[in-house]
Chain A
Amino acid sequence: MTAHIQIRGLSKSFAGQILYSNFDLDFPHQKITSIFGPNGCGKSTLINMISGLLPMDSGQVLFDGKTLEKTVIGYVFQNYRDALFPWKKAIDNIKYPLQIAKKSSADIEARTQELIQSFDVRFDLNRYPYELSGGQQQLISIMRALAPYPEVLFLDEPFSALDYEMTLFMRDKLQAIFETTKTTMILVSHDLDEAVYLADHILMLTRRPTRVAQEIAFTAPRPRQTSTLTSEIFNVVKGQCLDIFQKEIKVLS
């Protein structure tokens, strides 16, 4: 099977410092890929370039052979407070990408209802984002990102601003969405447990100039549960990742 996202010859420098140089990478279809690596290796920069938020110095990114302009993507930002539109009610935030795509109001309504049902939302969506809890806001962010049926969903440390209880809940919510929609997901995480728990593949990056140190598969069956976190296969994979990670940090010191 061909790759879903194909990155070729990507280069990026910041203030004369080379971050990526002639970087090639493929992301598979219908999988969750976690990106993990040392601080400053450019994990967020990478997904920002793929999603068009940051310009690359050179290189090409194709989605199923198409350019970004012809591709519908979703992006969940780390800081939901800064990413949601506070002047729109929660429900209108979810509808926003559908309005941008010029869908008919009947379609917009239908899609919104569908999302509300699949997420089993029980709080009042006619409130403004700032009236909702952090977890509820990030849930709205995720619903907004998923509304236009994105081909790829990017998540930049989506749960790092949430408390632990909410993080566990949201991980499972995200996993459930993945199981029903099979949307290709690219997740940047600072938390190795989370990176491994959610992923089919963990992409371990080196420090600058960044390369892929190793790609590790995590094949534990879904739906994964809290017990997955203590299973043998989880610990083996996490151990492998940690080894690579520590080697990378050692090079630095």
Chain B
Amino acid sequence: MLRRYLEPLTPVVGALAFILIWWIFTWLKIIDPVLLPSPQDSAKALWKGLFEGTLAVDTIITIRRTLYAFVIAVFICVPLGLILGSSARLYRSCEFVIDFFRSTPASALFPLFLVILGVGESTKVAVAAFGAGLLILFNTAYGVMNARKVRQAAARVMGASPTKIMVGVTLLESLPQTFIGMRSGISFSLVIVIVAEMFIGSVDGLGQRVINAQMIFNMPEMYATIFSAGALGYALNLLFIMAERHFVHWGGK
């Protein structure tokens, strides 16, 4: 009887245990309280930051940069992926370049983009868009290349024009894979934006906030910001999974 009532709580058990262990650690002072503040202090810092301080503003700024980068990446790389994927020869000829830059850590490109675009908003967004774009590009191209040929054949037999087949069949057929690319792309974009905010002369954003907290040794503030960044990443991923379920309801079926 009791078990049935507790069943819905299963998913939060891990989180509660995590907080409990954290609390025990700080209570017993196993780790220096300066390095690891208690969960209560961190929660207070988070609360104050969100509702009295500028944590909410910084979070929104980071979201905005991430989304800018993501949207630019989608608009350029989804069509490009469709074109690349529809010709096996074209893809093979570009495969090395794509794989090479995909394997290059995007953070290594910061200095290059700094030289080209200067210290500003555009560099952060551009590097993030570049990294996310490559993920979206090759996933879309793969989706198109591995699309089942039968559906395209079926549309052709029914008299659909090549453009109609491209838009009405191939594009949709590749959508599950494109979504995987977009989901990885937005996570990646967030990572790059936060790193950029830390090191490329930023005055706002979550990345800059973490670094600032570190410099003045304000640990509760730092944990609160890290938690905020984590929650943001989690929320973006969740949002995407929901969008995926709605737009690619047939995926995997």
CB contacts (< 8 Å) of A144 on chain B: these are 158
For window 29-64 of chain A, which residues contact chain B by CB distance below 8 Å?
Answer: 51-53
Tell me whether A53 and B156 are in contact in the complex, defined as CB-CB below 8 angstroms, given that A83-B151, A100-B164 are known contacts.
yes
Q: Are B156 and A87 in contact (CB under 8 A)?
A: no
Question: Least Cβ distance of B22 to chain A in Å?
Answer: 45
Q: Are A53 and B153 in contact (CB under 8 A)?
A: yes
Q: Binary interface profile of B, 118-162, with partner A (CB < 8 Å = 1, else 0)? A: 000000000000000000000000000000101101111111100
Question: Least Cβ distance of A80 to chain B in Å?
Answer: 10
Task: For the complex, give the distance between the alpha carbons of A44 and B151 in Å.
Answer: 17
Nearest A residue (CB) for B164: A100
Q: Does B169 contact A (CB under 8 A)?
A: yes
CB contacts (< 8 Å) of A96 on chain B: these are 155, 158
Task: For the complex, give the distance between the alpha carbons of A45 and B157 in Å.
Answer: 15
> Which residues does B use to contact A, with CB under 8 Å?
148, 150-151, 153-160, 164, 169, 172, 175, 249-250, 253
Interface size class of A (residues with CB under 8 A): 20 to 34
CB contacts (< 8 Å) of A128 on chain B: these are 249-250
Q: Are A100 and B160 in contact (CB under 8 A)?
A: yes
Please give 18 more A-B residue pairs, beta carbons under 8 A apart, in addition to A52-B156, A77-B153.
Answer: A51-B157, A53-B156, A72-B159, A74-B157, A75-B153, A77-B150, A82-B151, A83-B150, A83-B151, A84-B151, A87-B249, A87-B250, A96-B155, A97-B159, A100-B155, A128-B249, A130-B250, A130-B253
Q: Does A183 contact B (CB under 8 A)?
A: no
Task: For the complex, give the distance between the alpha carbons of A77 and B253 in Å.
Answer: 18
Question: Least Cβ distance of B90 to chain A in Å?
Answer: 21
> Which residues does A use to contact B, with CB under 8 Å?
51-53, 72-75, 77, 79, 82-87, 96-97, 100-101, 128, 130, 144, 148
CB contacts (< 8 Å) of A130 on chain B: these are 250, 253
CB contacts (< 8 Å) of B154 on chain A: these are 75, 77, 83
- A-B pairs with beta carbons under 8 Å apart, 30 shown: A52-B157, A53-B153, A53-B156, A72-B159, A73-B157, A75-B154, A77-B150, A77-B153, A77-B154, A79-B150, A82-B148, A82-B150, A82-B151, A83-B150, A83-B151, A83-B154, A84-B151, A85-B151, A85-B169, A85-B172, A86-B250, A86-B253, A87-B249, A87-B250, A96-B158, A97-B158, A97-B159, A100-B155, A101-B159, A130-B253
Question: Least Cβ distance of A96 to chain B in Å?
Answer: 7
Task: For the complex, give the distance between the alpha carbons of A18 and B250 in Å.
Answer: 41
CB contacts (< 8 Å) of A87 on chain B: these are 172, 175, 249-250
Question: Least Cβ distance of B253 to chain A in Å?
Answer: 4
Question: Least Cβ distance of B201 to chain A in Å?
Answer: 46
CB contacts (< 8 Å) of A83 on chain B: these are 150-151, 154
Question: Least Cβ distance of A92 to chain B in Å?
Answer: 11
Question: Least Cβ distance of A45 to chain B in Å?
Answer: 13
Question: Least Cβ distance of B179 to chain A in Å?
Answer: 13
Task: For the complex, give the distance between the alpha carbons of A85 and B253 in Å.
Answer: 12
Q: Are A100 and B156 in contact (CB under 8 A)?
A: no
Task: For the complex, give the distance between the alpha carbons of A130 and B248 in Å.
Answer: 13
Question: Least Cβ distance of B167 to chain A in Å?
Answer: 12
Nearest B residue (CB) for A54: B153
Task: For the complex, give the distance between the alpha carbons of A73 and B156 in Å.
Answer: 11
Nearest A residue (CB) for B247: A87
Question: Least Cβ distance of B143 to chain A in Å?
Answer: 14
Task: For the complex, give the distance between the alpha carbons of A51 and B154 in Å.
Answer: 11
| Central interface residue in B148, B150, B153, B158, by most chain A CB within 10 Å | B158
| Central interface residue in B148, B159, B172, by most chain A CB within 10 Å | B159
CB contacts (< 8 Å) of B151 on chain A: these are 82-85
Task: For the complex, give the distance between the alpha carbons of A73 and B157 in Å.
Answer: 7
Task: For the complex, give the distance between the alpha carbons of A84 and B160 in Å.
Answer: 15
Task: For the complex, give the distance between the alpha carbons of A86 and B172 in Å.
Answer: 9
